[in-house]
Amino acid sequence: MPQVQLIPASAEGALDAAEEAVDLLLDTGRAPGDILVLTTGDPHPWAAHELSFGEESYWAQHDARDDVFYADAAQIQRAAGRPVVVFAANGGSIEAAAGTLPVALARAGALLIVCGDAQQINSMLGAGV
């Protein structure tokens, strides 16, 4: 079972908190290809930009595992597991987030970092794990 780390943040601040978590992981020697970032609300700007070139090139980057990969939590079934999954609860429905959080936990090899409302996350993890 991966270690779970909670970073309390508002829905508006969850993406920034996830970015800081990724920076810290990279600064401490984690390989970029080890990290998957999932968002529940608006897509990460990188994902939105890359998807503008089409799904095929976007998922090719996922498969190459050269870099941090950003995906919508709704795409979690398609996203392969990585040693570290950063889950940004940055909006969207609580039901959708609650449904994808256990899958994110299953995808995380060593560490799941969840950025979001601590009370909501704890109740989701309590229900889902």
pLDDT at 20 over 70: yes
pTM, full prediction = 0.94
pLDDT at 127 over 70: no
**What local confidence, expressed as pLDDT, does residue 13 receive?**
97
* Residues 91, 110: Cα–Cα separation, whole Å: 25
Backbone phi and psi for residue 107, each to the nearest 5 degrees, phi listed first: -80, -20
**What local confidence, expressed as pLDDT, does residue 68 receive?**
97
Contact criterion met (CB below 8 Å) for 84 and 37: no
**What local confidence, expressed as pLDDT, does residue 50 receive?**
95
Cβ burial of 73 (10 Å; 0-12, 13-18, 19+) is: buried
117 DSSP 8-state letter: -
| pLDDT tens digits, 60-111 | 999 999 999 999 998 888 999 999 999 999 999 888 888 899 999 999 999 9
Percent of the chain at pLDDT > 70 equals: 98
Contact criterion met (CB below 8 Å) for 72 and 43: yes
pLDDT at 128 over 50: no
* Residues 88, 97: Cα–Cα separation, whole Å: 9
Q: What is the mean pLDDT of residues 112-125?
A: 90
pLDDT at 117 over 80: yes
Residue type, 81: G
